[in-house]
Structure 1
Amino acid sequence: MFAKGQTVIQYMELLAPKHLAYPDDKDRIGLQLGSLQKEIRTVLVALDVNDEVVDEAITAGADLIIAHHAIIFRPLKTINTDSPAGKVYEKLIKNDIAVYIAHTNLDIAEGGMNDWMAEALGIQHTVPIEETQREQLYKLVVFVPASHAEQVREAVLGAGAGAIGNYSHCSFNAGGTGTFLPQDGTKPYIGTAGKLEKVEEIRIETIVPQGIRNIVVQAMIKAHPYEEVAYDIYPLDLKGRAYGLGRVGKLEQELSLADFAEVVKEQLDVPYVRVVGDLERVIKKAAVIGGSGARYYPAARFRGADVLVTGDVDYHTAQDALNAGITLIDPGHNAEKIMKAKVAEWMSAKLEKHRYETKVIASTVDTEPFRFI
C-alpha cells in the first residue's frame, strides 16, 4: 500500500511542524505546487528545485518533491512557460509532481537542519542561538471506563503526550463515577438507549505540546471504546521547551580555528570555506546556523561562542564580527544539503514503520550555483 500525499506531509510536519516557522510573512512553506490528494509511490528530497532536479524526479518516477528552498518566493502575476521558471512549473504540472517546502520550520525544529549540522561538527549540549518561540502546552483530560483506562493511556502517551522535562509518560489518574443517558439512534458501548447509566470511570490527565496535539487526540479517540468521547483540552500558562534559530554548544574537544575549519569542510562536504579570524585561536564553544546567518553573530557571541559557522557572510559583517571578537567560518549556503539524506532517512523509517511501500530518495543533483577555480 502506498501512502497518500496528505499522510506523507503529516509525517513531514511531525519532523518540521509548520508553527515553528520563523515568525514573519516572508517565509514560504507548505504545498507550493500540485496536489496531495493522490497516492505517492516515490518522494524525492532536494535542497532546491531546479530544472535538473525536476528531470531527476521524472526519471525516478517521483510524485512528490520535498525541498528546503521555495520555488515560488514572490507572488506570481503570470506563468510564462517560455521563461526558465515557467518551464520548471510546466514540467512539474505535466508530470503531476507536487512540491512541498519545509524551510525555517525545518531549521528550527528539534532534530532538524541545525541539529544535524551541529551534530556533524561535534557541537554538544546545544541551545538555540536566538529563541523565536516557546512551545505552547495543553492539558488533556479524558474520561475512560476503568476497563479501558490502560489502553487509552498507552495510546495517548505512546503518541507523545506526557513529556515534562527529561521525564516521559507522565499522567495523573483518578477514579469516579460517570453518568450518561443514550438517546434514540445511539449505539452505546455500555448501556442501552433510554436508560441512565452509571459507570466506574478513570479521569486521565496529561500534558500535550502544540505540535502533536491533533495526533494525540486522534490516538485517544481511536483507542477509546465510547461512541462519543468525553474529553477536555485547554491551553496552559506553563510554557514548554524553547525553539529558535541556530545551535550553540561546546565542542567535543578543543581545536584551533584552522583545524575546526577542516572539520567543517569534511563534515559538511564542501570544497572550501572562508575563515574570518586568527587561525591559531583555540575554539572551545561553537555556533552554527544553516543558510545566511551571519547577522546572528552578536547573539552567538552573547551565548559564549568562539566561532559562528554560517553561509553567505558579506565583507562588512565579517569586519564587524572580527572587531567584536568572534571568528567566522563560511561553508556556503549549499552546506544545507545535509538535509537531503537526513530527511530521506527519517521519512523512510516513518513510512516503513506504518507499512507503506512509498519510497523516499535523496536527490543527487548538485545545486551549488558557484564553481570554484
Structure 2
Amino acid sequence: MLARGETVIQWMEKLAPKHYAVPDDRIGLQIGSLRKEIRRVLVALDVTPAVVEEAGELGAELIIAHHAPLYRPLKHLQTDTPEGALMASLLRRDIAVYVAHTNLDSAEGGMNDWMAEALGIEGRAVLEEVHTDKLFKLAVFVPVDHQDAVRGALFNAGAGWIGNYSHCSFNIEGTGTFLPREGTDPYIGKQGKFEKAAEVRIETIVPDSARKAVVQAMLKAHPYEEVAYDLYPVDLKGRSFGLGRVGSLPQPESLDSFCERVKKALDVPFVRVVGDGSRQVRKVAVLGGSGSRYIRHAKFAGADVLVTGDIDYHTAHDADAMGLAIVDPGHNAEKIMKPKTARWLQEKLKAAGYDTEVLPSQANTEPFRLR
C-alpha cells in the first residue's frame, strides 16, 4: 500500500511541526499537489536542476527539501529564466516540493540536534527560543478498576512530563454520583437509578502539542460513554524549541583539534576559523545554516566556539573582539539532514504499513569549490 502525499507530510510534520518555524519562513507545500499516491520521496537540502533530474530518474513524486526553491517573491514565471525553468521542469514531471526549514532546525531531534550529536556535544540546550509549548492541566474522573489503563493511555500519548520527569500524576480517591437517563448505556448502574461509584480523580500535565492526542487516548481508554474531565491552561512554562544548540564536549580540546572534529563529523573538506588554534574550547554552540546574527547569543550562553555557516568579514571581527571562536563549515554542512530525515520518515511509514520509499538525495548541491 502506497501512502498518499498528505499522509507523508502528516508524518513529516510530526518531526518538524510547522509552528516551530520562525515568522514568515517559506515552509510547507510550494509546488505541485499532495493529492496523489507517492511511490518514492526524495529528501534534499536544495532543489536544483540536478536534484530535479535525480528525482525524475528515481520516479519520485515528492521532494522534501530544507531550502525553499521559492524563497524570494517572484514577479513573473518565465520559463526562459533559471527559476522559471526549474518550476516548469517540476510541474512537467508532476513532482511536488514540500519545504521544512526553520521548523526542522528548531525541532527536537531535528537539524541542530543532528549536528550537535555528530560533534559529540553533551547536555544540549536551545540557543535561541522560537516556540514554547503551552501547558494544560487535565483532570479526569475514572472508576477505580480502570485507573491504570487510563493513566497508561495518557502517558503513552504524551501527558505527564514535568522537565525530565515522565509519568507524573496526582490521584485522589472519592465518590462520583450520576443518574443514567433514558437512552443511556451506563458502564456502572442502570437507567433511572441514582448511582454512587468509587472513582479516582487523575490529574496530569498536558503540553499543547500533545493535547489532541492525549484527549483522544483518554476517551478511548475510558469505560464511560460520557467522560467527566476538565482541561484548562496553567501559567507555567513548557518545553522550549528553537534555533541552535549549546552544550559541552566531553573534554576540552584545542580549537585546531576541534576543527578536525568538525570536518570529519559534518563531512566537509575545509572550515574557516576565527580564533587562535591553540586555545582550549569545551562549551560549543552550533547553528545550522547562516548564523552571523547569533554570535552574541552564543557568547551570552557561555560558548567558547560557535559552529555555523556564512560568517561575513565584519561579523568575524566582532566575534574575535568578544573572545568567541568561530568554525564555519559552510551552509552545505546542513546536508546531514538528508539521510537523517529520510531514515526517520522511512521508519515511520514502514511501521504504519506503507510501501512508499524514502531516499536521501545523492546530488551535490555545494556551489563552492577550492582551487
Compute the displacement of 1:189 (Å): 6.2
Residue aligning to 1:159: 157
- Listed as ranges, the gaps of 5+ residues in structure 1 are none
Classify 1:134/1:197 alpha carbon distance in 2 versus 1 (closer, same or farther; 3 Å): same
Instruction: Supply the distance in 2 between the matched residues of 1:304 and 1:2 (Cα, whole angstroms).
Output: 48
Classify 1:361/1:189 alpha carbon distance in 2 versus 1 (closer, same or farther; 3 Å): farther
Classify 1:49/1:198 alpha carbon distance in 2 versus 1 (closer, same or farther; 3 Å): farther
Residue aligning to 1:19: 19
Residue aligning to 1:359: 357
Instruction: Supply the distance in 2 between the matched residues of 1:223 and 1:8 (Cα, whole angstroms).
Output: 28
Identify the match of residue 349 of structure 1 among 328, 339, 347: 347
Question: Secondary structure of the equivalent of 1:14?
Answer: helix
Compute the displacement of 1:241 (Å): 2.3
Report 1:191-210 matches (<5 A). Answer: 200-210=198-208
Q: Is the 8 A contact 1:18 1:105 kept in 2?
A: yes
Classify 1:293/1:232 alpha carbon distance in 2 versus 1 (closer, same or farther; 3 Å): same
- Listed as ranges, the gaps of 5+ residues in structure 2 are none
Instruction: Supply the distance in 2 between the matched residues of 1:152 and 1:41 (Cα, whole angstroms).
Output: 38
Q: Deviations over 1:150-196 (max 9, x none)?
A: 33322221122111122112223344325364565x77666777877
Q: Is the 8 A contact 2:179 2:192 kept in 1?
A: no
2:178 corresponds to which letter in structure 1?
T
Residue aligning to 1:9: 9
Compute the displacement of 1:308 (Å): 0.8
Report 1:15-164 matches (<5 A). Answer: 15-22=15-22, 24-25=23-24, 27-164=25-162
Residue aligning to 1:215: 213
1:337 corresponds to which letter in structure 2?
K
Identify the match of residue 291 of structure 1 among 274, 286, 289: 289
Q: Is the 8 A contact 2:32 2:96 kept in 1?
A: yes
Classify 1:284/1:85 alpha carbon distance in 2 versus 1 (closer, same or farther; 3 Å): same
Residue aligning to 2:259: 261
Compute the displacement of 1:316 (Å): 0.8
Question: Secondary structure of the equivalent of 2:354?
Answer: coil
Instruction: Supply the distance in 2 between the matched residues of 1:239 and 1:71 (Cα, whole angstroms).
Output: 36
Please give the root-mean-square deviation of Cα atoms over the aligned residues, in Å: 2.5
Residue aligning to 1:233: 231
Instruction: Supply the distance in 2 between the matched residues of 1:5 and 1:284 (Cα, whole angstroms).
Output: 44
Q: Deviations over 1:83-110 (max 9, x none)?
A: 3222332333343332221111111122
Compute the displacement of 1:200 (Å): 4.9
The two structures have a TM-score, normalised by structure 2, of 0.90
Classify 1:78/1:205 alpha carbon distance in 2 versus 1 (closer, same or farther; 3 Å): farther
Instruction: Supply the distance in 2 between the matched residues of 1:319 and 1:233 (Cα, whole angstroms).
Output: 52
Residue aligning to 1:274: 272
Q: Deviations over 1:191-240 (max 9, x none)?
A: 77787776554433221112222222333334344555443322210111
Q: Which moved more, 1:92-101 or 1:289-298?
A: 92-101
Classify 1:190/1:65 alpha carbon distance in 2 versus 1 (closer, same or farther; 3 Å): farther
The number of equivalent residue pairs is 370
Instruction: Supply the distance in 1 between the matched residues of 2:265 and 2:121 (Cα, whole angstroms).
Output: 12
2:366 corresponds to which letter in structure 1?
E
Instruction: Supply the distance in 2 between the matched residues of 1:79 and 1:201 (Cα, whole angstroms).
Output: 65
Q: Is the 8 A contact 1:301 1:326 kept in 2?
A: yes
